[in-house]
Structure 1
Amino acid sequence: MASYPGLNKIRADALKELRLLESYIQKSGENRFKIEGVLGEGTGGFALKMAMVNEPSPNLQPTRRFIMKRAIDQQQEEKLLREIEFTKRFRGDAHVAQLFSIPGEPHDGISYFKGPTLMTEWIGSFTVKEMIEKRADLGIPFPNRVLWRLFLCLCRMLIAMAWPSNGPPGCPRRVELVPSPGPDGKRPPKLPLLHGDLNIQNILVGDRDQSEHRLVNSLVLIDFGNARTLPEDQGEQAVKANMCLMGEVMLNLVGGRVMKNATGSSNMDITVNGERKTIRSWARDLDGLNPAYRAPADLVAEHKDRVDNLDADLRSLIIRCLAPMADNRPDLETLVEEVERNVNNKTANSYAGKKYASNETDSAVERIMHRLVHDASLA
């Protein structure tokens, strides 16, 4: 039996299904792709790192890799089929993982496999969770200009879920934008889609490019295994629910977390359009670590150091996104407009006087991102 990195990550029932998959590949005489390793497993399924082989390689292009996801029982097969159908909606969306297809095979699987197969592009396995852990090792806060750009990536994901591209197989990616109003002055209705598991482990860190991601790597959303749609008229409610989870990701990036219990939220002062307001929010860690953590004094001081460095406008937006009352969260169009404006207009000079202002320059941001992502990927 073949051995791969990560075999120790899966249970016996998943291993049995993997060996069955190997038999399908062997009996077919498959020579277009191969298994490179086991990435892990979830409830009722597992994911493999795959590589294309025997492909022409003009200009010494790197080997194409992809992720293959399989279920281990009928109930999970039905769930995987739903995930495939959800993922198809995002063909062409830049901040959502794209389906991968094998030349000569259907766009949603392998013809000789029994049961559904989800194949998505290989982005790498470095998650936002791991980037946060690496930041802690460096002992510095994320620069505000990094946080704003990561926030914009998360907003692009919200746009994709509200107005999916629904492109044809193989269509080019596009940056997700809020659609313009039609002749009637209204935008297309928002899709009432709930991701269901939007968190720092289901967001991958992608590459840099020459557009929005010139300084800071892109983020890519994965895993629609728990996605579902609400009734047709609840698009706004779905967006606000996804937004709250996205706000939790932003809070994690700053160094806090959400406790959704009696002591988890508190009244917090914010500024909206220059006006001071007080709203209740789960982002209470931005006013100091929740005493329920019983954190030692040095961790409390370290957290205060990060929060004191945080852009006040960014703080207010995170607090609003994490409001228990959905009406206190911004609408998507306003959120995107505010984040885009801050990404485009705020420079290193905007943070003069902050303790870590020297980390806000273009050169410092590039250096920090290299240490957070590239160096970590080599570890």
Structure 2
Amino acid sequence: MEYLGEREQTAASRLQEYFENEPGFAFEKVAGSGGFGVTLCFRNKNADPNGHRMIAVKAPTWENEDVPRERQSLRPLVWAQHSVTLLAVQFESENAEWLKKNTIITEYLENGTLSSLKRRLGGGYPRRKLPNRVLWAIFLCLVRGCVGLAYPPGSRTKLPRNPRDQLLETIPDGNRPPRELYHGDLHEANIMIGDFEPREHRNFPVLKFIDFGLSSEKEDAVSGNIMDIGQVMCNLMWSGWDISDLIIDKNSANILDPNLDDELLDWATQCIEDDPADRPSLSALLSAIRPNLQKTYPNIPEESDRFISELIQRNILDAE
């Protein structure tokens, strides 16, 4: 049960009340809350068979600029597989204009965040760790997400009809300059876990960036996003207070797994270098990470298909 403060409860109640007059939707649950406001989950009764049957509706606790900013940032990303999908929804009630102006409506992702996964893994002692194969898969998802921010894929005039239409983010040929979109709030709680899919997510579900309310166009946005995903990766591997120590001492006792792949650690720590010029490019990261998805680590039991499958089932798919 999601605890709501007074402001969040007021916003949630108003949102539920407005949706009660929308015959095509049914309230399911409170999906989350925080500084941004509150997010509620509704069932879309009129969804296409292959469309989004569950939607997430986010409303702020007070009027601010985050809603139009987030909507503007998400619109070019509707085809991107590693960013949450902004949905176009038709309303019928007298509250339609308020809902269109004051809410962000996206696909609903039911498997939680990287933060919730990390919390479940850290719930016991000794703390459970993520296998190298899972960490490589997570790393690739994060890089793909950054590629999508820089080079949004797909049509600017059409919308995907269902989740299967979304595209894998790639760096285009030629000299096309990147879109300088900095997420601004990229951490484990703003990276959600989606579903499995056959291209790069057969063994670990796709990850999606959410919460673009602090996003902005700025110079060095690509490098800034790389810094942030490097921080996320290091947080998944490290139990110390100061992650910058990883650059100094990669053999520290605070590294959670003695079997951690040195190459994985090296690429993650390069991403958090203080000087942006010392951080790897998106192209270099893709070239380095993709081949490592084929590694098997045959002498480490925790890297087996069975162990990873059970870890995902227990800590993601079956988790409450």
Superposed CA RMSD in Å reads: 2.7
Residue number in structure 2 paired with 1:229? 217
Equivalent residue runs for 1:1-379 within 5 Å:
6=2, 8-11=3-6, 13-26=7-20, 29-43=21-35, 45-53=37-45, 55=46, 64-74=53-63, 76=64, 78-103=65-90, 110-111=96-97, 113=99, 115-124=101-110, 126-137=112-123, 139-165=127-153, 167=155, 168-170=158-160, 172-181=165-174, 186=175, 188-230=176-218, 234=219, 237-256=220-239, 259=242, 265-266=244-245, 283=247, 286-288=250-252, 303-304=254-255, 306-344=256-294, 346-349=295-298, 352=299, 357-376=300-319, 379=320
Q: In the alignment, residue 87 of structure 1 is paired with which amino acid?
A: L
Q: In the alignment, residue 173 of structure 1 is paired with which amino acid?
A: Q
Partners in 2 of 1:16 and 1:40 — Cα distance? Answer: 14
Identity of aligned residues (%): 27
Residue number in structure 2 paired with 1:277? none
Q: How far is 1:208 from its partner?
A: 1.6
What secondary structure sits across from 1:132 in the alignment? helix
Q: Assess if the C-alpha contact under 8 Å between 2:55 and 2:107 holds in 1.
A: yes
Q: Which of the two has higher C-alpha Rg?
A: 1
Taking structure 1 as reference, are residues 47 and 257 closer, same or farther at Cα in structure 2, changes over 3 Å only?
Answer: farther
Taking structure 1 as reference, are residues 9 and 125 closer, same or farther at Cα in structure 2, changes over 3 Å only?
Answer: farther
Q: Assess if the C-alpha contact under 8 Å between 1:286 and 1:307 holds in 2.
A: no
Partners in 2 of 1:166 and 1:110 — Cα distance? Answer: 29
What secondary structure sits across from 1:216 in the alignment? coil
Q: Assess if the C-alpha contact under 8 Å between 1:70 and 1:116 holds in 2.
A: yes
Partners in 1 of 2:48 and 2:76 — Cα distance? Answer: 30
Partners in 1 of 2:277 and 2:191 — Cα distance? Answer: 26
Taking structure 1 as reference, are residues 369 and 14 closer, same or farther at Cα in structure 2, changes over 3 Å only?
Answer: closer
Partners in 2 of 1:366 and 1:125 — Cα distance? Answer: 15
Deviations 1:46-102 (A, max 9, x none): 21111123x4886xx89811110112333x1x2211101111110100011001233
Q: How far is 1:41 from its partner?
A: 2.7
Q: Assess if the C-alpha contact under 8 Å between 1:257 and 1:283 holds in 2.
A: no
Deviations 1:316-349 (A, max 9, x none): 10111111111111111111110112113x2233
Q: Which has the higher contact order (CA 8 A, sep 6+)?
A: 2
Q: Assess if the C-alpha contact under 8 Å between 2:111 and 2:317 holds in 1.
A: no
Q: In the alignment, residue 16 of structure 1 is paired with which amino acid?
A: T
Q: How far is 1:135 from its partner?
A: 2.2
Taking structure 1 as reference, are residues 137 and 333 closer, same or farther at Cα in structure 2, changes over 3 Å only?
Answer: same
Q: How far is 1:177 from its partner?
A: 1.3
Q: In the alignment, residue 93 of structure 1 is paired with which amino acid?
A: A
Stretches of structure 2 that go unaligned for 5 or more consecutive residues are: none
Taking structure 1 as reference, are residues 142 and 25 closer, same or farther at Cα in structure 2, changes over 3 Å only?
Answer: closer
Q: How far is 1:258 from its partner?
A: 6.0
Q: Assess if the C-alpha contact under 8 Å between 1:9 and 1:38 holds in 2.
A: no
Q: In the alignment, residue 375 of structure 1 is paired with which amino acid?
A: D
State TM-score, norm by structure 2.
0.87
State TM-score, norm by structure 1.
0.74
Q: How far is 1:44 from its partner?
A: 5.2
What secondary structure sits across from 1:84 in the alignment? helix
Partners in 1 of 2:36 and 2:211 — Cα distance? Answer: 14
Q: Assess if the C-alpha contact under 8 Å between 1:46 and 1:70 holds in 2.
A: yes
Stretches of structure 1 that go unaligned for 5 or more consecutive residues are: 267-281, 289-299
Q: Assess if the C-alpha contact under 8 Å between 1:152 and 1:339 holds in 2.
A: yes
